[in-house]
Structure 1
């Protein structure tokens, strides 16, 4: 089977969630074509999904060396470095990616997450807003922005972003938790109760939801 056909088959496995088969396919291609950029970038992506950040970083670093103009590979290398705790390297990668493709919403979002974790709130705010300007229905960015606003005791705008996230992802635990917290912070206890009851319906063992319901009486 030609390398292109093997790659297509591996991508199909990857898309359908058959990660073992996809990984085997990517590695088979790389065994004979060690410099295949697409196989490297996709294998790195798969390793990120599995949380294997150390190997993902090595694979994606090689992909970037082969194709330094790939904004996607630079972004994924940033994710790998963040997973390893290499914040400065992750920031360099995200900024490099955005120079190559300033309209990549996901990169702004991931950069915002990094900045928020470094407690650089104003910069994180701008990154999340840049993401949402490009992709208004980016549910994760609404959640990230909500978390940032709530952390800074801005419960009302935080709740608005969580509400948008819930509208986009009605069963998202992160969106519902944020909406419940912000609603409670606004003194709307009955609304908060209903939100946390919804969380318990989705996950009967949800610790925070059960504890909050107990506190609300």
Structure 2
């Protein structure tokens, strides 16, 4: 879906950072519905599929609430490589045994062209951000996930204006965004399970309004 030269360029841009592997995305690249996560973890690099393992099972529960499958959506992330911990304690372990970590802003910027290009090619009717990192990548720091989850809004997205740029800008067409929590959030806060279910009910209504394909609408 994305030009191989752009992929090579972005892989090179991230080379100096403590990240490993690469995973472009997965699912139906012609779908109207795009899910954006944070970054792949060890499970994802092993299977070469986004959202596998426990987080994948949690995402599948989201889709079950929507009466959708992985074939009805496309899933990708803000950073396409796995950021791993590199503190003094972690450095004693081989990279593959180190824990995952949240990507830095510089790492997000390094792979920003990949998400920009994905959105430009797909032209999704709805973009679902999974967690705070994806929400901030596309909208900036003004919005708090705690305050806006489960609420759709239309906005210009933040994009990297050029490969040489060092900051994202709000440019281009507006898109419909729907923020919700990352599928792994329920492992740390089980009470979010009910909140996320309510978010999915709201998302289902939005998808119906937007005319996004749902199997149970046949």
TM-score by length of 1: 0.26
Structure with bigger gyration radius: 1
Question: Whose strand fraction is larger, Structure 1's or Structure 2's?
Answer: 2
Question: Whose helix fraction is larger, Structure 1's or Structure 2's?
Answer: 1
